[in-house]
Amino acid sequence: MKKIVKSICTQCHCECGVLVHVEDGVVKKIEGDPEFPQNEGTMCPKGLAFVQLLYHPDRLKYPMKRVGEKGEGKWERISWEEALDLMAAKFTEYREKYGPQSIAFGFCDGDRDEVGPWMAWLIAVGSPYIFGTDAHYCLRPAFVADSLTFGQSHTWEVGPDYDNSNCILIWGANPVESHPCSTARRILKARARGAKLIVVDPRFTPLASKADVWLQPRPATDAAVALGMLNVIINEKLYDEDFVKNWCTGFEELKERVQQYPPSKVAEISWVPEEDLVKAARLYAKNKPCAFHTRMGLLMNTNNLQTVRAVDLLSAVTGNVDIKGSNILPYPSPPRSRSYVDFFRLHKESIPLELFETRPGYKEWPLIYGYDSPWNDAHPPSAIEAIARGQVKAMIWVNDPVMGLQNSKKIQESLKKLEFMVGIDFFLSPTANLADIVLPSATWLERDMIHDLHYFYLPPKGKRDYHESFVSIGEKVIEPLYECWEERKMAAELIKRMGLKSPIPIDSSDAYNNWRLEPLGITVDELKKKRIVSIPIKYKKYEEIGFQTPSFNVELCSNVLKEQGFDPLPYYEEPPESPYSTPELAKEYPFILISGGRHICFYHGALRQLPWLRELNPEPKVEINPETAEELGIRNGDWVWIETPRRKGERVKLKAELTETVHPKVIHAYSHWWFPERKDDPDRGCFESNINIITYDDPPYDKHSGTPLIRGCLCKIGKVEA
């Protein structure tokens, strides 16, 4: 029997509507759904090849128990009964013996809404520890920086209203690879109808090649570039005088601050030619409305919060806030589905304060990890320390922090010290390999899932002129294969066996999803029929309620930062390691390393098993300027080693791709490389080409957010001799 099921691809955060073709219970094909507004029928290679993951011969098929040493890779198949009983006994034992703070849940970026049931487990156990591994360099610092300025965040995927924009600024982000269908598609569509495009990126990416102006800053000098653009906009009076007068505080202070950043000086700091900087500033200020978007390129350094603030202020002084075609503030909005924010709130309310305060990073960086932060994560490097010194003894890990976090060898050593670890994944990843129990997870094709899609979009055919986001459901297409379970069921069964009670209904998929939908007054069955519940969003909400900052204004000069003893205005700070701050070190390590460029075919460490995707990217690559390569005797396709000062002696090996898209002084290594096909090696080659072996998790940290210098450290390279 043939049928087509409408679902939502959850392989990345684009969340594209798909049509899944099923024949006699077997998924044959996944294609884009032309009626789904998020992607309008388009797809990316990840979703198009997903059938190869679903039926991959190496997929985890049943629970397994470690029989050899930790990490040795010897496993024995066990039943779910045995796995759950063992887990319940162990976690109960640690809870009673050492208290709930000896237990934690950790996850790498993946299905964010699947975290809900695990939060329920944490609450039931009474543990304060959720370890989101990207807490210090993905969304959180940017979210906080935006909120300090505007009261809410509107720069990540949620905010930019590309469809109505006249000018688009993409800074330290590469949506073509990381958000192709929801974001890049709309940017490219806007460009096709004539919107200007400015791209700031140390790499000449395909998107940069389409830009009207491309700025190529020295890595980690973005704050200087933004302050230089502000200097031009303010001194040339290109800012929005009415908006600044009526809705901004601290303009005079900002005006004074930017005098320290004349374009000529910024050019020296950032290597961005003065005339390009001025051109970008004028283009941005004179083409209102502008939408802008930033991402991890701005966040993986030791001055990330002030860097995002500096870029934010470009939109503030030009009045590109909450107006059509700019960046739209997400709240207040009509009720939405219960999502991760609600899970975090529930967790925060359930855990006694004195326990909550023991979260690693809570006291040191309260803006991100403190009580008032919207997130409950711990500071990841400190959390790994807590595991290493035995403070946390038993954990559940979802996904793959050994590949995803900086300083991979330390991550592996630390996780090995856990007395009891459960690993959950689709494959036996380098992290799952360190576990005592491995559990096979169901994919998005094998479970119902509520999606709260924040992205703004123009409804198909352009019938309405307001923007909206929406809630939808990714429907289960087939029953879970083999003995795979959805994580909700794992959490529910574990809670039951520990004799505890879940704070939210998770006993069945429908119960959980109905609870999530409750604020909307709709049930799962109704949503399946409607598919989409639209949530209209209004412009200029600040005219009614102001901005959600202490002054109810856009705070160019931040009151919160001032109160906490920080500089209330953005500034540039030379990275702790650079040709200028450590010139002696730079003689031995003459290049600047940026790592972590994404490829559209992979999602972080995932998907290297899929033949159609791996065929297009068979090997780890490092991009080197031909001029540099010639000096070092490196030819295209040579294996090259890379070393960083603080990981002296550790050398990772990648294949040289000579390209002028990187500056002669900058080396760019693609991230997250391991070799799942090497089945004889329990580590699957994860300590060979994985750039995170030599990236930093150590201090100095950003004083607001605790972020180490992840991109922009020094390095040396050389040809691997045969």
> Which part of the chain contacts other proteins (CB under 8 A), choosing from 125-133, 180-188, 434-442, 695-703?
180-188
Cα separation, 257 vs 570, whole angstroms: 8
Cα separation, 495 vs 476, whole angstroms: 24
Options 87, 103, 184, 435; binder of other proteins; rule CB under 8 A: 184
Site for other proteins in 34-53 (CB under 8 A): 34, 39-45, 48-49, 51
Taking residues 614 to 633 in sequence order and writing x for each that binds other proteins by CB under 8 A, - otherwise, the string is: -xx-----------------
CB of 182 to other proteins, least distance (A): 9
Amino acid at 463: K
Cα separation, 202 vs 216, whole angstroms: 5
Which position has the token pair 């302050």? 227
Cα-based distances in Å from 111 to 114, 135, 604: 6, 15, 13
Taking residues 46 to 85 in sequence order and writing x for each that binds other proteins by CB under 8 A, - otherwise, the string is: --xx-x----------------------------------
- Tell whether residue 204 is a contact of other proteins (CB under 8 A): yes
CB of 616 to other proteins, least distance (A): 5
Dihedral sign computed on CA atoms, order 158, 162, 166, 169: positive
Q: Are 438 and 75 in contact (CB under 8 A)?
A: yes
- Determine which helix (DSSP H) or strand (DSSP E) holds 658, and give its type and residue range: strand 652-658
Complex with other proteins: residue 527 or 658, whichever CB lies closer: 658
Can you read off the two tokens belonging to residue 456? 């703004």
Site for other proteins in 581-610 (CB under 8 A): 600-601
Complex with other proteins: residue 90 or 614, whichever CB lies closer: 614
Which has the closest alpha carbon to 14: 176, 198, 241?
Answer: 176
Q: Is the peptide bond before 380 cis (omega within 30 degrees of 0)?
A: no
> Which part of the chain contacts other proteins (CB under 8 A), choosing from 188-196, 264-272, 482-490, 501-509?
188-196
Options 5, 22, 31, 574; binder of other proteins; rule CB under 8 A: 31
Q: Which residues pair with 468 in a beta bridge?
A: 457, 536
Q: Are 170 and 197 in contact (CB under 8 A)?
A: yes
CB of 482 to other proteins, least distance (A): 23
> Which part of the chain contacts other proteins (CB under 8 A), choosing from 85-93, 314-322, 443-451, 613-621?
613-621
Complex with other proteins: residue 113 or 177, whichever CB lies closer: 177
Q: Rounded to an integer, what is the distance from CA 318 to the centroid of its chain?
A: 28
CB of 177 to other proteins, least distance (A): 7
Options 20, 86, 181, 437; binder of other proteins; rule CB under 8 A: 181
- In 475-565 the beta strands, taken as DSSP E runs, fall at 532-537, 554-555
Q: Are 696 and 446 in contact (CB under 8 A)?
A: no
At 560, is the secondary structure helix, strand, or coil?
helix
CB of 197 to other proteins, least distance (A): 12
CB of 171 to other proteins, least distance (A): 18
- Tell whether residue 165 is a contact of other proteins (CB under 8 A): no
CB of 270 to other proteins, least distance (A): 17
Q: Which residues pair with 633 in a beta bridge?
A: none
Q: Are 432 and 487 in contact (CB under 8 A)?
A: no
CB of 132 to other proteins, least distance (A): 28
Q: Which residues pair with 437 in a beta bridge?
A: 65, 422
Taking residues 644 to 663 in sequence order and writing x for each that binds other proteins by CB under 8 A, - otherwise, the string is: ---------------xxx--
- Tell whether residue 215 is a contact of other proteins (CB under 8 A): no
- Determine which helix (DSSP H) or strand (DSSP E) holds 306, and give its type and residue range: helix 304-317
Complex with other proteins: residue 209 or 246, whichever CB lies closer: 209
Q: Are 120 and 495 in contact (CB under 8 A)?
A: yes
- Tell whether residue 20 is a contact of other proteins (CB under 8 A): no
- In 356-504 the beta strands, taken as DSSP E runs, fall at 394-398, 420-425, 437-440, 449-457, 467-474
> Which part of the chain contacts other proteins (CB under 8 A), choosing from 33-41, 122-130, 284-292, 700-708?
33-41
CB of 678 to other proteins, least distance (A): 18
Complex with other proteins: residue 181 or 586, whichever CB lies closer: 181
> Which part of the chain contacts other proteins (CB under 8 A), choosing from 145-153, 207-215, 330-338, 399-407?
207-215
Cα-based angle 135, 575, 707 (whole degrees, multiple of 5) = 10
Q: Which spans of this chain sit near other proteins (rule: CB under 8 A)?
A: 29-32, 34, 39-45, 48-49, 51, 176-177, 180-181, 184-185, 188-189, 192-193, 204, 206-207, 209-210, 214, 600-601, 611-613, 615-616, 659-661
